[in-house]
Amino acid sequence: MEKMICTSKTSAEILLQAVNGEGLGREEIIRLLTLTDPLDIDELFKAADQVRQDYVGDEIFLRGIIEFSSYCRNNCLYCGLRRDNLEIERYRIPDDEILELARAIEARGCTTVVLQSGEDPFYTRKRLYGIISRITDETSLAVTLSLGERTYEDLHAFKAAGADRYLLRHETASRSLFASLCPGRSLDTRIECLHHLRELGYEVGSGCMVGLPGQTVEDLADDVMLIRKLNIDMVGIGPFIPHDQTPLKAHPAGDVDMVLKMVALVRLVTRDANIPSTTALGVLDKETRKRAFHAGANVFMPVFTPHSYAKDYEIYPGKGLVSSDARKTLDSYLEFFRSMGRPIGKGKGFRPGFRARTSLCNYER
Ligand code: SAH
Ligand code: SF4
**DSSP for 36-64?**
--HHHHHHHHHHHHHHHHHHH-S-BEEEE
- Is residue 7 very low, low, confident or very high in pLDDT (cuts 50, 70, 90)? low
- pTM confidence score: 0.95
CB of 18 within 8 A of CB of 24?
A: yes
| Ligand 2 atom 6 nearest Cα | 82
165, with CB counted inside 10 A (0-12, 13-18, 19+), is buried
Name the residue of 81, 209, 232 whose CB sits within 8 Å of the most ligand 1 atoms, as the mutation to test its pocket: 209
Which residue's CA is minimally distant from atom 4 of ligand 2? 76
Cα(188) to centroid(ligand 1), Å: 18
Q: Which ligand is nearest to the CA of 72?
A: 2
Ligand 2 centre distance from Cα of residue 346 (Å): 32
Q: Is the pLDDT of residue 356 over 70?
A: no
- Residue 325 vs residue 270, higher pLDDT: 270
Find all residues with CB under 8 Å of 188, minimum gap 6, and list them. Answer: 175
Ligand 2 shell residues, CB under 6 Å: 72, 74, 76, 79, 81-82, 118-119, 148, 315
Give pLDDT tens digits for 212-249. 999 999 999 999 999 999 999 999 999 999 999 999 99
Q: Which ligand does the CA of 167 lie closest to?
A: 1
| 8 Å CB contact between 363 and 157 | yes
From 65, 68, 81, 172, mutation site for ligand 2 pocket: most ligand atoms within 8 A of C-beta? 81
Amino acid making up residue 128: L
Are 277 and 340 spatial neighbours (Cβ–Cβ below 8 Å)?
A: no
The tens digit of pLDDT for each residue in 114-131 reads 999 999 999 999 999 999
